[in-house]
Amino acid sequence: MMGGMKAVLCTHFGTANELELKDIPPPVAGPGEALVRVKAAALNFFDTLIIAGTYQQKPPFPFSPAAEFAGIVESVGAGVTDIAPGDRVMGYLGWGAAREYVAVAAQQLVKLPADLSLEHAAGLTVTYGTTLYALRERAALKPGETLVALGASGGTGLAAIELGKVLGARVIACASSDEKLAFARDHGADAVVNYASEDLRDALKKLGGEHGVDVVYDPVGGRYAEPAVRSLAWQGRYLVVGFAAGDIPKLPLNLVLLKSCDIRGVFWGAWTKREPRAQRALMTEIVTWCAQGKLSAHVHAVYPLAEIATALGAIADRKVMGKIVLRP
């Protein structure tokens, strides 16, 4: 029998400093489940919201933040045949991965190639899963089209650059500093816009030319949404991914009429529940591309569980390029 395990616990909604690192009994793999030793748990922007009680999902207390992880299977419950102890896997929980062990439905785990590091794999599911679903299933992005990624150095934004290139698009990366834009170029962006120092509409007018831009991927919202929609081509598609800037933008609908364009919502988490098979197939593609070096899954920094407040602070302060990972 295993002893206790370390877990970051959120016992009430509040700030990251109010999270507690505790010893709790480890879970046991029930029927159809695998017990996984978490080697890396990745944080996302929404972890800053979920602990504050301002996210769309409000888990029962106490819960651990971190939606996704990678690790090694320790044991499996009754009826599990395709996953075995010792397998290297990654998975998605929604929340609960900032701890040493998790028990997960074995069907939800994705096996990892030997040459993909657990730290990189931990952060692949949410950002790349959301983005491939957004670009391919929602936007039907075609080779040769122009894709604009806002917040392009963040977790989802970097995924948009890299998956946009894999899908054959020309990618314009938009971010708030020259350092972030250099990072975007290093990861494949064809052109860049500093929306803190340049007018987004003017810059996209120049880069999009007379045609305009075909697809906008927007995880930021706020004041960038309207100029981005105004920059769309005839029958362009604007993807509503998130609102990291805090404000949920309102748009004049005449713009949608005048361009015969589409505003398309992206709710990846709900899609994974509606179409679990499609999600698994999509993740297998992503893992393969990552192992082939087509996706970087760039890790900005790795923190021990005890430093989760610093890790979440870096995300909230807009300092992160790529992903933040916890090492339990």
Ligand X SMILES: NC(=O)c1ccc[n+]([C@@H]2O[C@H](COP(=O)([O-])OP(=O)(O)OC[C@H]3O[C@@H](n4cnc5c(N)ncnc54)[C@H](OP(=O)(O)O)[C@@H]3O)[C@@H](O)[C@H]2O)c1
Residues that bind ligand X (CB under 6 A): 44-46, 126, 130, 151, 153-157, 175-176, 180, 219-220, 241-246, 266-269, 315, 318, 320
Q: Which of left, alpha, beta for 200 (phi over 0: left; psi -120 to 50: alpha)?
A: alpha
Given the complex with ligand X, which of 220 and 228 has the nearer CB atom?
220
Given the complex with ligand X, which of 202 and 247 has the nearer CB atom?
247
Kindly give the pairing relationship between strand 146-149 and strand 170-175.
parallel
Given the complex with ligand X, which of 176 and 310 has the nearer CB atom?
176
Q: How far is the CB of 86 from ligand X (least distance, A)?
A: 31
The Cα 28–Cα 46 span in angstroms is 28
Residues 6+ apart with CB under 8 A from 206: none
Q: How far is the CB of 62 from ligand X (least distance, A)?
A: 22
Q: How far is the CB of 146 from ligand X (least distance, A)?
A: 19
Q: Which two tokens stand for residue 194?
A: 């500093």
Q: How far is the CB of 37 from ligand X (least distance, A)?
A: 25
Q: How far is the CB of 132 from ligand X (least distance, A)?
A: 11
Phi and psi angles of residue 290, each rounded to the nearest 5 degrees, phi first: -65, -45
Q: How far is the CB of 65 from ligand X (least distance, A)?
A: 13
CB atoms within 10 A of CB 27: 17
Q: How far is the CB of 61 from ligand X (least distance, A)?
A: 21
Given the complex with ligand X, which of 99 and 180 has the nearer CB atom?
180
Q: How far is the CB of 43 from ligand X (least distance, A)?
A: 8
- Nearest residue to ligand X on Cβ basis: 154
Q: Which class for 16: exposed (0-12), middle (13-18), buried (19 or more C-beta within 10 A)? A: buried
Given the complex with ligand X, which of 106 and 150 has the nearer CB atom?
150
Closest CA to 233 of 251, 252, 199, 207: 207
Say if CB 323 and CB 298 are below 8 A apart.
yes
Distance, C-alpha 53 to centroid of its chain: 19
Given the complex with ligand X, which of 154 and 236 has the nearer CB atom?
154
B/e letters for 214-241, b = 16+ CB within 10 Å, e = fewer, are bbbbbbbbeebbbbbbbbbbeebbbbbb
CB atoms within 10 A of CB 150: 31
Q: How far is the CB of 84 from ligand X (least distance, A)?
A: 31
Q: Which two tokens stand for residue 97?
A: 């991965």
Going through 267-313 in order, the beta strands assigned E by DSSP cover 299-304
Residues 6+ apart with CB under 8 A from 61: 10, 11, 12
Given the complex with ligand X, which of 87 and 243 has the nearer CB atom?
243
Given the complex with ligand X, which of 77 and 269 has the nearer CB atom?
269
Given the complex with ligand X, which of 26 and 155 has the nearer CB atom?
155
For the four alpha carbons of 233, 236, 241 and 242, in that order, the dihedral sign comes to positive
